[in-house]
Structure 1
Amino acid sequence: MSANDTAMYPVEFDVNGEKRTIRVRAADILLHILRDKLGLTGSKSGCENGDCGACTILVNRQPMKSCLMLTVEADGKQITTIEGLMNSPVQKAFVQNQAFQCGYCTPGFIVNCEGLWNVHPHADEETIRVWLESNICRCTSYEEIHHAVKDVFTPK
C-alpha cells in the first residue's frame, strides 16, 4: 500500500438514487467531490463558507450546504443534488415565475425549497420567508423567487 492509499477513505452513499462508492481524503469537501469527481456541476461554488447557498444539496431530504460538509460525513447518506430534482414542482414553479436572472443561485434555491417542502409541506408566509434567508441571489430576483415558492405551497 502506498502512502497515498493510506490517506484515502472509502465513502459509500446514494446520489440521486444511484449507489456510489468513492475513495476520498479526509479533508475533501463534498461540493468538490460532487462537481469534480462525480460530474454533478449543478451545485455551485459561491462563497465556500456557507453564506450564499449556491451549493445547497439535500442530505437525507434535509438542506445542507455542501461547501461545509466533508465527504466522509456523507457516508451512508442519501444525497440529492439539483440533477436529481428534474421536473419537481419547485423547479416548475421557478420556470413559470421566471424566478432567475443569471441562474447561478437557482439550483441552490430550488434544492433549498425542495427541502422546505420535505420539512414543512404546508409552510406559511413567515416560514417561507425565513427559509429563503439561507440563500443569496446577487441579481436580486427575490420577488420572483418568493412568488415561485408561494405557488408551490398555495393549495390549488
Structure 2
Amino acid sequence: MDRKTITLEVNGLSYTRSIEPRMLLSDFLRQELALTGTHVGCEHGVCGACTIILDGRSARSCLALAVQADGMQIETVEGQGSINNLGRVQEAFRQHHGLQCGFCTPGFIMAITDLLRHHPLETDDQIREALSGNICRCTGYEHIVNAVRELAKERGPLK
C-alpha cells in the first residue's frame, strides 16, 4: 500500500511521518509518537477515552484517520501537565478524587479542557450534559462533576 507523508503539530511540537493512509489518528498518536495517554476504548467514538483536541475542538481520535489531521494542531493529555506539574484540570481531578482506574481520565481531561474553553457550564445539569459523551465505569461521576464545578467557578484561562 502506498504511504502518505503527513506533518502535524502535537502539543506544540511538529512531527512529519510517512504512514499508511488507513491508520487511525489514535493509532498514530500511540504507535508513531508514543503518546499512550490517548486511550482506545470502544473504537466506535462512543466512550470518549480517545478524546483529543484537534484544531481547538475536542474530537474522537478513533474516528479520524491520521491523514485527515495533516497540517492540524493536536493537543493530547501529555500536553496538559506532568506528574511533577499537573495542569489545572488534572489537579482538580486529583483534589476531588475524580478518577479510579484512570482509563477514561485522559479523555475526560481533554473533553473538560475543551468544554471550559467554549462553554460557561454554570449548573450541574449543564456539566452532566456536557460530559455525557464520556463514559466512566468506576466513579459514578459525582467527583468528576465536583472537579468541573470548581474549574467552572474559577474560569481563568486553561492551558
TM-score (norm 2): 0.90
Q: Aligned residue for 2:122? A: 124
Please tell me whether the aligned partners of residues 48 and 107 of structure 2 are also in contact (alpha carbons under 8 angstroms).
Answer: yes
Please tell me whether the aligned partners of residues 52 and 135 of structure 1 are also in contact (alpha carbons under 8 angstroms).
Answer: yes
Alignment: residue pair count:
150
For residues 140 and 10 of structure 2, what CA distance do their matches in structure 1 show?
29
Equivalent residue letter for 1:48:
E
Listed as ranges, the gaps of 5+ residues in structure 2 are none
1:65 and 2:60 equivalent?
Answer: yes
For residues 126 and 20 of structure 2, what CA distance do their matches in structure 1 show?
38
Listed as ranges, the gaps of 5+ residues in structure 1 are none
Equivalent residue letter for 2:97:
Q
For residues 27 and 119 of structure 1, what CA distance do their matches in structure 2 show?
31
Determine helix, strand or coil for the equivalent of 1:133. helix
Superposed, which structure 2 residues align to 1:1-156 within 5 Å? Answer: 4=1, 7-86=2-81, 87-120=86-119, 122-125=120-123, 126-155=125-154
TM-score (norm 1): 0.92
Please tell me whether the aligned partners of residues 101 and 139 of structure 1 are also in contact (alpha carbons under 8 angstroms).
Answer: yes
Greater CA radius of gyration, 1 or 2? 1
The percentage of counterpart residues that share the same residue type is 43
Shift, 1:88, TM fit? 2.1
Shift, 1:154, TM fit? 1.2
Residues 45-94 of structure 1: CA deviation (Å, up to 9, x unaligned): 10000010001000012110100011011011110000000022111100
For residues 52 and 137 of structure 2, what CA distance do their matches in structure 1 show?
19
For residues 103 and 128 of structure 1, what CA distance do their matches in structure 2 show?
20
Please tell me whether the aligned partners of residues 98 and 139 of structure 2 are also in contact (alpha carbons under 8 angstroms).
Answer: no
Shift, 1:152, TM fit? 0.3
- Cα RMSD over matched residues? 1.3
